[in-house]
């Protein structure tokens, strides 16, 4: 009974204390809210993207395990091939055709990026036992089935509700019948059937309809593939083997999950996203820790009174733990809603990034609110519990003490030794992992160790560095010395917030330097590698060599073969042997450029890209067995050069153009070397042959600009998360400083009583706060550079199989400093201004 | 000379307006010392805050006459008030209130630097007078309460102000230290020809000054004077 009464009393006291601890409470709730919303956004993006490409090209169809596609673009998969395979008894096959289009509502273009229109042979699909079984087991599928039934009985197409919503929004229309008024590729194009919403991630970003309707809308379309809707069991495997054996030579059977390569790459993207989310989590952890610390400090008088009134420590901690649990629940609920909104906001960018990077279509996922809530709540609870440990321990110690003890130098030394040991151990650990580990998760741990080691070093040296700065300030600027010395006191009380800012600044510097280096390397590589004057994308049969020759243009056809090497599909790619392309080659490793080029052009050596070399552990001088590009005869080739090939997901081997046979190899890209006049004449010739050159003949400078645009878009999300993390950390630091600066008030008022003006005291306050940030930034710089080195040489190496030189651009560093300091200044300026506006007499009471 | 005429100051309470100072008038000659006693809440600290230009009166005048100029404290702008506190005024608070992150000597240097009247020899002499020269490189928290208050006195006099306001300067000290510190304060001000206005509860401390006043019903009443 006594215990119940004391719990009740303490809970009431806690509620009453809220009036006096508003700022700390708001900070704690904001930290939790930012953490949960950020985490939810990343989880939703990850989940949707994964779900989307895992089910890519399955279009509502169950058990799609394999598909048949054409081996190369020379001989496409035809309707006859489909009919022939059906006649052979392979009824599990369902044809689909897909092409990208633009949609108009009236004169208005409603989609910025082209949308895939996909036709499926629904008649064959619905007749399959697999499909019917799905309908029997799944009620929602039954509803979908009714809709699918409409597809061939009526003029209907399907898409994800989110896509319909986006199209409607783009049309700026409140007209609910917008989906019946969409025309294909031009305002006067064919009208699309009415869109029906089906909430299924497998629809991706596509509009799906019956294949007959598709061919009516796209008369020149071709079958893209034949999906295999098999049943599980040995019989299915046997039938698949039989199908593979009976396939015509120009077709190939591939497993849907053989997007392993794609999966690996997208994994890297998600890893990147997850790493950023983890970073945000760590920063938020520090912020929550900081907020709890401040809250408990502000509450300390109430806690002490409660102890004096006989309330047990158990009751005090229990009620506060329950309080934090409730805060977590509240923050999770609101945070998830915010996170979902945020994810929805950035999803077009994510989709564009994944599509441009990995050529995968990303649509909309179905995320369960409950499972998301459970994930976010459990993570935030674990984080809060971790963040609670240290402040609770301090409160426990404080409640045991009857009076404030003087600073204990022995304890201080012990703390310094501990920090030094932590910093050294983490540095050693990072070094070991980076040198010997090859798993990505271990490398991410190395990154965490590096950053935490930096934190330990910062805590160890903060006051020493500030004291050093203080010594540098001349005695005649005593006021500034006072300010620096006050910063030392402030830094010892705002350690956690300073660490959060340090982490954000380090990651910001690391990521920015990495992106900057990557951008620089890519730009220089593309600039050199795109040696021709123009590039032509042409899939047609027409031989363009003679036309080019007539106009005096050097036309190099870029040919490629997909081959198997050590169980993986790799690319054989042609590389022109002209002088221009010789100079355009950008080597990562080569012994003698001249000799290597001679060996290459004489077909006595090959170049491999970094992706190939790193994946297969191939080095210069190694001999590897590969099929000869034109004859497919296995031949031994010497690697004479390893070349840069940024952005290419494939492992690639380069051969001279003359070793390829046009009959066997696919080609859609031509490199053109010639003057403006010659190219203009060549263009005229192509127009006469009815070849569309508007979108396919691209000037190299435009191609370079387009590539760099794609590049920049790719890192938009990383940039965004970087800024958010920095903002959050700066906010935390600012809040901590502002709360703690209450402790400094008597000293500042003393200065005011000595005649220091309001403006000077404002400047001194800002100087103090900025000094803390500048020191954190100075510490963050070497750690940011090391982080960047690890990202480029370890994480990129294992995730993408390419590396590039680290470029430390002083301008980039200065830009990061300026942005970081501006963010802090912006956040602390208003409270500092407000604080100094208070009448002096109100604050002077602090002095007595 | 410090001249206060018909000074009024009121505070707005929750229910009513409380008139703390009611047409208070007094004149203090340059280089003399006066003490003010009175009950808690009688307005002693309020009077000091008005003299320090930390607060504004409802009405009345406060004039500070020096050899070269007459300062009308009530009409000061904020920057003039800052300048006045910087150059003409020294304040001593009850809780010593030294800047704890800098040394004793730096605490003295600061007002001298702010008023641009730095005289190292004078500061050394001041510390010697107060018996604190051997502590000049120590931090305030390495000193006892009595020692800290001596430094506070030195700091208040470091820039050779015309007027020193002391608000219960010995309130936190034991009787022995209280007597020593008060005597030092009065003697040093006299020696420097600085006007001293000392608020205290202690009769012993009050007796050290040349004139003793009590603040009663918002007005100053002289109890005794040796002038």
DSSP A172-240: T---TTGGGSEEESSTTSPBPPEEEE---GGGTTEEEEEHHHHHHH-TT----EEEEE--SSHHHHHHH
Distances (CA, A) of A11 to A14, A212, A418, B75, B155: 5, 69, 37, 52, 48
pLDDT-based confidence at A1, cuts 50/70/90? very low
The answer to whether residues B43 and B218 touch, using CB atoms and an 8 Å cutoff, is: yes
Is residue A841 within 8 angstroms of chain B, CB to CB?
Answer: yes
In A674-819, beta strands by DSSP E: 697-699
> Which pair of tokens denotes residue A669?
């890209």
Cα dihedral: A58, A60, A62, A64 (round 10):
-10
Which pLDDT does position A738 carry in this prediction?
A: 66
> Which domain range does residue B65 map to?
2-96+162-225
Which pLDDT does position A149 carry in this prediction?
A: 58
Test B102 with A746 for CB contact under 8 angstroms. no
What residues pair up with B195 in beta bridges, in sequence order? B163
Return the ∠ at Cα A146 (arms to A141 and A148), rounded to 5°.
85
Nearest to B101 among A486, A758, A840 (CB): A486
A64-78, A284-298, A438-452, A777-791: which has the highest mean pLDDT? A777-791
Which pLDDT does position A268 carry in this prediction?
A: 54
Among all residues of chain B, which has the CA nearest to that of A486? B101
Share of chain B above pLDDT 90, in %: 25
In the sheet with A182-184, reading across from the earlier edge strand, the strands are A108-109, A103-105, A182-184
Test A754 with B54 for CB contact under 8 angstroms. no
Return the ∠ at Cα A508 (arms to A328 and A465), rounded to 5°.
95
> Which pair of tokens denotes residue A362?
């990303």
Pairing status of strand A534-537 against strand A587-590: unpaired
Which pLDDT does position A780 carry in this prediction?
A: 92
B108 located within any domain: no
Instruction: Classify A572 as helix, strand or coil.
Output: strand
Among A658, A625, A704, residue whose Cα is nearest residue A559: A658
Please give the Cα distance from A542 to A698 (Å, whole number).
19
**Residues whose CB is less than 8 angstroms from the CB of residue A66 and which lie 6 or more positions away in sequence, other chains included:** A227, A228, A230, A240, A253, A254, A255, A256
Please give the Cα distance from A432 to A445 (Å, whole number).
11
Which pLDDT does position B41 carry in this prediction?
A: 84
- Whether pTM > 0.80 for this model: the answer is no
Domain residue limits, chain A: 1-55+285-403, 76-249, 413-530+701-848, 539-695
What residues pair up with A253 in beta bridges, in sequence order? A68
CATH code for position B10: 3.40.50.300
For residue A311, pLDDT beyond 50 = yes
B124 located within any domain: no
- pLDDT average, residue stretch A687-703: 78
Which pLDDT does position A769 carry in this prediction?
A: 83
Test A848 with B52 for CB contact under 8 angstroms. no
Which pLDDT does position A714 carry in this prediction?
A: 63
Residue A847 with chain B: CB contacts under 8 Å: 93, 95, 97
B178 located within any domain: yes
> Which pair of tokens denotes residue A718?
């990383």
Question: For A662, which DSSP code?
Answer: T
pLDDT-based confidence at B174, cuts 50/70/90? confident
Test A753 with B95 for CB contact under 8 angstroms. no
Residue B222, phi then psi, degrees to nearest 5: -75, 135
Is residue A847 within 8 angstroms of chain B, CB to CB?
Answer: yes
Is residue A488 within 8 angstroms of chain B, CB to CB?
Answer: yes
- Locus of tokens 């970094």: A610
pLDDT-based confidence at A590, cuts 50/70/90? very high
Summarize pLDDT for A315-330 with one digit per residue, the tens: 788 888 888 888 888 8
Which pLDDT does position B105 carry in this prediction?
A: 92
Regarding predicted confidence, which is higher, A214 or A496? A214
Distances (CA, A) of A808 to A434, A811, A820: 20, 9, 18
Provide the number of CB pairs (under 8 Å) joining chain A to chain B. 74
Please give the Cα distance from A612 to A650 (Å, whole number).
8
Among A780, A821, A772, A779, residue whose Cα is nearest residue A497: A772
Is residue A763 within 8 angstroms of chain B, CB to CB?
Answer: no
Q: How remote is the C-alpha of B50 from its chain's centroid?
A: 12
For residue B35, pLDDT beyond 90 = yes
Q: Of A42-46, A169-173, A323-327, which range is least confident?
A: A169-173
Residue A838, phi then psi, degrees to nearest 5: -65, 145
The answer to whether residues B14 and B213 touch, using CB atoms and an 8 Å cutoff, is: no
Test B114 with A476 for CB contact under 8 angstroms. no
Summarize pLDDT for A204-238 with one digit per residue, the tens: 667 888 888 888 888 878 888 888 877 766 677 78
**CA atoms in the 13 A half-sphere facing the CB of B72:** 7
Q: Of A473-487, A494-508, A592-606, which range is least confident?
A: A494-508
Q: Do the interacting molecules here have an ipTM over 0.90?
A: no
- pLDDT average, residue stretch A446-466: 88
Which pLDDT does position A175 carry in this prediction?
A: 54
> Which pair of tokens denotes residue A215?
């061919």
Regarding predicted confidence, which is higher, A133 or A627? A627
Please give the Cα distance from A347 to A353 (Å, whole number).
10
Residue A174, phi then psi, degrees to nearest 5: -100, 5
The answer to whether residues A594 and A609 touch, using CB atoms and an 8 Å cutoff, is: no
B175 located within any domain: yes
Is residue B84 within 8 angstroms of chain A, CB to CB?
Answer: yes
**Residues whose CB is less than 8 angstroms from the CB of residue A14 and which lie 6 or more positions away in sequence, other chains included:** A299, A302, A319, A320, A323
Instruction: Classify B76 as helix, strand or coil.
Output: coil
**Residues whose CB is less than 8 angstroms from the CB of residue A203 and which lie 6 or more positions away in sequence, other chains included:** A59, A60, A158, A159, A160, A163, A363, A364
- pLDDT average, residue stretch A623-636: 87
Q: Of A545-549, A786-790, B85-89, which range is least confident?
A: A545-549
Residue A768 with chain B: CB contacts under 8 Å: none
> Which pair of tokens denotes residue A637?
């080739």
Which pLDDT does position A125 carry in this prediction?
A: 78
For residue A407, pLDDT beyond 70 = no
**Residues whose CB is less than 8 angstroms from the CB of residue A417 and which lie 6 or more positions away in sequence, other chains included:** none
Share of chain A above pLDDT 90, in %: 6
Please give the Cα distance from A278 to A35 (Å, whole number).
10
Q: Output b/e per residue, B94-116; b: 16+ Cβ within 10 A.
A: bbbbbbbbbbbbbbbbbbbbbbe
Which pLDDT does position A262 carry in this prediction?
A: 45
* Distance between A523 CA and the closest CA of chain B, angstroms: 53
Return the ∠ at Cα B22 (arms to B19 and B26), rounded to 5°.
145
In the sheet with B2-12, reading across from the earlier edge strand, the strands are B17-28, B2-12, B59-65, B70-72
For residue A298, pLDDT beyond 90 = no
| DSSP sequence for A31-99 | HHHHHHHHHHHHHHHHHHHHHHHHTTT-TT-TTEEEEEEESSSSS---HHHHHHHHHTT-TTEEEEEEE
* Distance between B86 CA and the closest CA of chain A, angstroms: 4
Structural domain count, chain B: 1
Question: For A440, which DSSP code?
Answer: H
Is residue B110 within 8 angstroms of chain A, CB to CB?
Answer: yes
**A664-667 long-range contacts, CB within 8 A, separation 24+:** A664/A72, A664/A561, A664/A629, A664/A630, A664/A632, A665/A72, A665/A559, A665/A560, A665/A561, A665/A572, A665/A574, A665/A629, A665/A630, A666/A72, A666/A73, A666/A74, A666/A559, A666/A560, A666/A561, A667/A73, A667/A557, A667/A558, A667/A559, A667/A560
B135 located within any domain: no
- Locus of tokens 């009024």: B8
Q: Which of B10, B47, B54 to mutate: most A Cβ within 10 Å?
A: B54
| DSSP sequence for A368-394 | -HHHHHHHHHHHHHHHHHHHHHHHHHH
Summarize pLDDT for A234-248 with one digit per residue, the tens: 677 788 888 888 888
For residue A571, pLDDT beyond 60 = yes
Question: For A791, which DSSP code?
Answer: I
The answer to whether residues A280 and A287 touch, using CB atoms and an 8 Å cutoff, is: no
Nearest to B55 among A755, A841, A847 (CB): A841
Chain B, residues 37-76, CB within 8 A of chain A, namely 45, 49, 52, 54-55
Which pLDDT does position A597 carry in this prediction?
A: 93
Q: Of A127-141, A290-304, A406-420, which range is least confident?
A: A127-141
Among all residues of chain A, which has the CA nearest to that of B95? A848
Summarize pLDDT for A86-141 with one digit per residue, the tens: 888 888 888 888 887 778 877 777 766 667 788 888 778 777 777 666 666 655 55
The answer to whether residues A157 and A115 touch, using CB atoms and an 8 Å cutoff, is: no
The answer to whether residues A294 and A735 touch, using CB atoms and an 8 Å cutoff, is: yes
- pLDDT average, residue stretch A275-296: 72
Test A847 with B97 for CB contact under 8 angstroms. yes
Mean pLDDT taken over chain A: 78
């Amino acid at each position: 009974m006594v215990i119940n009464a004391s719990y009740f009393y303490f809970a009431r006291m806690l509620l009453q204390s809220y009036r006096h601890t508003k700022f700390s409470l708001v900070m704690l709730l904001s930290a939790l809210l930012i953490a949960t919303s950020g985490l939810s956004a990343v989880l939703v993006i990850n989940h949707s993207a994964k779900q989307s490409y895992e089910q890519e090209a399955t279009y509502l169809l169950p058990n799609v395990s394999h598909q048949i596609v054409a081996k190369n673009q020379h001989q496409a998969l035809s309707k006859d091939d489909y009919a022939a395979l059906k006649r052979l008894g392979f009824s599990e096959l369902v044809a689909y055709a897909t092409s990208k289009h633009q949609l108009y509502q009236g004169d208005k273009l409603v989609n910025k990026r082209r949308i895939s229109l996909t036709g499926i042979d629904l008649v064959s699909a619905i007749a399959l036992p697999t499909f019917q079984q799905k309908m029997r087991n799944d009620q929602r599928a039954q509803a979908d089935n009714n809709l699918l039934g409409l597809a061939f009985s009526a003029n209907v197409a399907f898409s994800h509700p989110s896509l319909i919503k986006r199209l409607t929004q783009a049309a700026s229309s409140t007209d609910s019948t917008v989906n019946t008024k969409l025309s294909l590729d031009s305002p006067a194009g064919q009208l699309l059937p009415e869109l029906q919403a089906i909430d299924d991630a497998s629809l991706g970003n596509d509009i799906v309809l019956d294949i007959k309707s598709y061919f009516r809308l796209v008369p020149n379309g071709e079958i893209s593939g034949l999906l295999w809707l098999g049943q599980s069991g040995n019989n299915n495997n046997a039938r698949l083997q039989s199908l593979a054996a009976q396939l015509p030579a120009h077709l190939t059977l591939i497993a849907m999950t053989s997007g392993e390569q794609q999966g690996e790459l997208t994994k890297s993207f998600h890893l990147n996203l997850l790493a950023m989310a983890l970073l945000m989590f760590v920063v938020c952890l520090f912020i929550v820790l900081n907020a709890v610390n401040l809250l408990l400090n502000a509450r300390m008088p109430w806690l002490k009174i409660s102890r004096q009134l006989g309330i047990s420590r158990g009751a005090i901690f229990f009620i506060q733990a329950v309080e934090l649990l409730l805060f977590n629940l509240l923050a999770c609920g609101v945070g998830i809603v915010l996170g979902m909104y945020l994810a929805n906001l950035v999803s077009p960018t994510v989709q564009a990034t994944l599509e441009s990077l990995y050529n995968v279509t990303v649509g909309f996922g179905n995320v369960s609110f409950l499972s998301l809530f459970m994930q976010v709540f459990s993570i935030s609870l674990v984080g809060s519990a971790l963040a609670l440990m240290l402040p609770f321990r301090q409160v426990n110690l404080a409640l045991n003490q009857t009076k404030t003890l003087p600073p204990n130098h022995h304890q201080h030394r012990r703390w310094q030794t501990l920090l030094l040991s932590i910093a050294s151990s983490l540095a050693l650990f990072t070094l070991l992992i980076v040198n010997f580990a090859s798993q990505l998760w271990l490398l991410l741990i190395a990154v965490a160790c590096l950053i935490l080691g930096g934190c330990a070093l910062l805590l160890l040296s903060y006051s020493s560095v500030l004291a050093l700065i203080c010594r540098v300030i001349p005695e005649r600027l005593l006021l500034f010395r006072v300010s620096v010395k006050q910063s030392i006191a402030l830094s010892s009380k705002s350690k956690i917030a300073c660490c959060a800012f340090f982490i954000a600044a380090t990651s910001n510097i690391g990521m920015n330097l990495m992106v900057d280096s990557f951008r620089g390397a890519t730009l220089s590589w593309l600039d050199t590698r795109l040696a021709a004057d123009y590039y032509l994308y042409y899939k047609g049969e027409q031989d363009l060599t003679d036309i080019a020759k007539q106009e005096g243009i050097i036309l190099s056809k870029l040919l490629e073969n997909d081959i198997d090497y050590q169980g993986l599909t790799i690319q054989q790619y042609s590389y022109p042997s002209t002088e221009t392309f010789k100079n355009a080659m950008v080597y990562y490793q080569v012994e003698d450029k001249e000799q290597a080029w001679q060996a290459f052009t004489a077909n006595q050596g090959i170049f491999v890209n970094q992706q190939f070399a790193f994946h297969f552990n191939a080095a210069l001088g190694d001999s590897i067995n590969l099929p000869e590009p034109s004859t497919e005869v296995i031949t031994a080739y010497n690697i004479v050069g390893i070349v840069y090939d940024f952005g290419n997901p494939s492992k690639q081997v380069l051969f001279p153009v003359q070793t390829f046979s046009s009959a066997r190899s696919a080609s859609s890209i031509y490199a053109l070397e010639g003057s403006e006049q010659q190219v203009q004449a060549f263009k005229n010739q192509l127009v006469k042959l009815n070849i569309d050159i508007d979108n396919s003949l691209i000037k190299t400078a435009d191609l370079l600009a387009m590539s760099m645009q794609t590049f920049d878009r790719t890192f938009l999300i990383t940039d965004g998360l970087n800024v958010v993390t920095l903002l959050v950390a700066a906010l935390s630091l600012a809040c901590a400083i502002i709360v703690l600066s209450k402790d400094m008030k008597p000293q500042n008022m003393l200065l005011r009583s000595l005649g220091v003006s309001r403006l000077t005291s404002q400047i001194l306050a800002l100087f103090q706060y900025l000094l803390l940030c500048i020191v954190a930034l100075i510490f963050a710089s070497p750690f940011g550079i090391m982080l960047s080195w690890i990202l480029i040489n370890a994480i990129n190496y294992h995730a993408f199989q390419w590396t590039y030189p680290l470029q430390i651009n002083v301008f980039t560093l200065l830009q990061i400093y300026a942005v970081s300091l501006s963010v802090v200044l912006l956040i602390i300026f208003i409270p500092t201004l407000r604080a100094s506006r208070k009448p002096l007499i109100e604050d002077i009471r602090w002095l007595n | 000379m410090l001249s206060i005429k018909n000074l009024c100051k009121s505070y707005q309470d929750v229910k009513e307006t409380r008139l703390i100072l009611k047409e208070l008038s007094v004149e203090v000659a340059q280089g003399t010392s006066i003490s003010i006693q009175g009950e808690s809440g009688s307005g002693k600290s309020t009077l000091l805050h008005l003299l320090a230009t930390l607060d504004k009166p409802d009405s009345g005048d406060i004039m500070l006459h020096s050899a070269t100029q007459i300062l009308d404290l009530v009409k000061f702008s904020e920057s003039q008030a800052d300048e006045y506190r910087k150059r003409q005024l020294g304040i001593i608070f009850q809780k010593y209130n030294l800047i704890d992150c800098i040394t004793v000597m730096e605490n003295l240097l600061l007002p001298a630097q702010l008023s641009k009247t730095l005289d190292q020899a004078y500061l050394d002499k001041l510390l010697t007078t107060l018996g604190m020269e051997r502590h000049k490189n120590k931090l305030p928290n390495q000193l006892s309460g009595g020692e800290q208050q001596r430094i506070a006195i030195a700091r208040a006099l470091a820039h050779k102000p015309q007027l020193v306001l002391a608000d219960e300067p010995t309130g936190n000290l034991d009787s022995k230290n209280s007597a020593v510190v008060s005597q030092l304060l009065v003697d040093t001000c006299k020696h420097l020809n600085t006007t001293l206005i000392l608020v205290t509860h202690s009769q012993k401390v009050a007796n050290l000054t040349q004139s003793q006043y009590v603040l009663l019903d918002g007005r100053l009443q002289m109890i005794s004077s040796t002038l």
